[in-house]
Amino acid sequence: MKNPTRKRILITGGAGFLGSHLCERLLTDGHDVLCVDNFFTGTKDNIVHLMGNPHFEMLRHDVTFPLYIEVDEIYNLACPASPIHYQFDPVQTTKTSVHGAINMLGLAKRIKAKIFQASTSEVYGDPKVHPQPEEYWGHVNPVGIRSCYDEGKRCAETLFFDYRRQHNLRIKVARIFNTYGPRMHPNDGRVVSNFIVQALKGEPITIYGDGKQTRSFCYVDDLVEGFIRLMNTADDFTGPVNLGNPGEFTIRELAEQVIALTGSKSKLVFKTLPSDDPMQRCPDIALAQEKLGWRPGVPLEKGLVKTIAYFESMLRDA
């Protein structure tokens, strides 16, 4: 007999960094999980420990093509999310954001499923408002090297809200700020994984610009909790809602903390700042606190210790 509280949940990009943690959490919560991934940036290593679970299923599929299945909820996480990966094939990145959104929205419409969109703080571009509230429309270069991701995600949000208005679809949109933790790709070019790997190898730590640009860093478990709380809100609350840690650190402060926690002898080296790299990025999470009762609980130092342990194990086994 089917458990009435057990949902069938599709996670696109489920073998990626965030997706694999979401798969794990939803299985722990007692649901059936279908993980869909084309393995462009995701890896089976992230989900191999779930393969023996009878409530977990893996499907190799690219969301730029339609998918015909039956589920109760959809989490659309599929898209390369680091500059190195999304700039490798920018046309495919835009297709994944836009065609992928169209295909998943079409599926949700057909089967009457609730659907979650993993949007991004990149929709704010290089912001002129600080910290960034959801009402801020952003300051985005539509023709730059980051535009495939920034504008792709902005268009996906447009599609979600038009499906809501035109077809009364049940949607949830989260704007994700910098997130870190175990299972980050070691070569994804993100600042946390870059610094940790360089520190553990004793290599110079590369800082772009003067290191005074700021970021906020959210531990992955906190973010996944935000996802689930947003998905479980009443249908009249759609978002977009910022999910991130409002604690703000300069890139140099992050580098120095990683060196201290790893005991590394790495030195800092400074290189030219890439174009369109934002100088400030910090979420205003008042809406998430009000509507979801959510705020991150893992301090940066504690999260870094867990992340460093993961990369130490990865480098040891390589």
Pairing of strands 179-180, 205-208: unpaired
Selected catalytic residue, list 75, 86, 149, 180: 149
The answer on pLDDT for 5 being more than 60 is yes
pLDDT of residue 316: 85
Whether residue 26 lies inside any domain: the answer is yes
Q: Which residues pair with 102 in a beta bridge?
A: none
Q: Establish whether the linkage from the previous residue to 240 is cis, with ω within 30° of 0.
A: yes
Active site residue 208: no
pLDDT of residue 79: 87
Q: What is the CATH number of the domain that holds 72?
A: 3.40.50.720
Sign of the Cα pseudo-torsion (260, 261, 267, 269, in order)? negative
Q: Could you tell me the pLDDT band of residue 59, with boundaries at 50, 70 and 90? A: very high
For the chain, what percentages of helix, strand and coil (3-state, to nearest 5) are there?
A: 40, 20, 40
Smallest CA-to-CA distance from 241 within 139, 120, 146 is with 120
Question: Both tokens of residue 270?
Answer: 């400074």
What does the pLDDT average to over 105-121?
97
Contacts of the segment 246-250: beta carbons below 8 A, 24+ positions apart: 246/131, 246/216, 246/282, 246/283, 246/284, 246/285, 247/216, 247/217, 247/299, 247/300, 248/131, 248/214, 248/215, 248/216, 248/282, 249/214, 249/215, 249/216, 249/217, 249/300, 250/211, 250/212, 250/213, 250/214
What does the pLDDT average to over 276-292?
89
- Tokens 């700021």 sit at which residue? 214
What does the pLDDT average to over 239-247?
96
Whether residue 2 lies inside any domain: the answer is no
Q: Which residues pair with 207 in a beta bridge?
A: 270
The answer on pLDDT for 293 being more than 70 is yes
What does the pLDDT average to over 100-123?
97
Whether residue 111 lies inside any domain: the answer is yes
Residue scoring higher pLDDT (316 or 218): 218
The answer on pLDDT for 1 being more than 60 is no
Whether residue 90 lies inside any domain: the answer is yes
Give how many domains the chain has, as a whole number.
1
For 138-196, the pLDDT digits (tens) are 999 999 898 888 999 999 999 999 999 999 999 999 999 999 999 998 877 789 999 99
Smallest CA-to-CA distance from 88 within 41, 123, 121 is with 41
The answer on pLDDT for 33 being more than 60 is yes
Whether residue 251 lies inside any domain: the answer is yes
CA 312 to chain CA mean position, Å: 23
The answer on pLDDT for 94 being more than 70 is yes
Q: Taking the CA of residue 168 as centre, how many other CA atoms within 13 Å lie in the half-sphere pointing to its CB?
A: 1
pLDDT of residue 189: 76
pLDDT of residue 190: 84
The answer on pLDDT for 106 being more than 60 is yes
What does the pLDDT average to over 297-303?
96
Whether residue 3 lies inside any domain: the answer is no
The answer on pLDDT for 11 being more than 60 is yes
Q: What is the mean pLDDT of the chain?
A: 93
pLDDT of residue 73: 98
**Structural domain of 221:** 8-317
Whether residue 1 lies inside any domain: the answer is no
pTM of this structure: 0.94
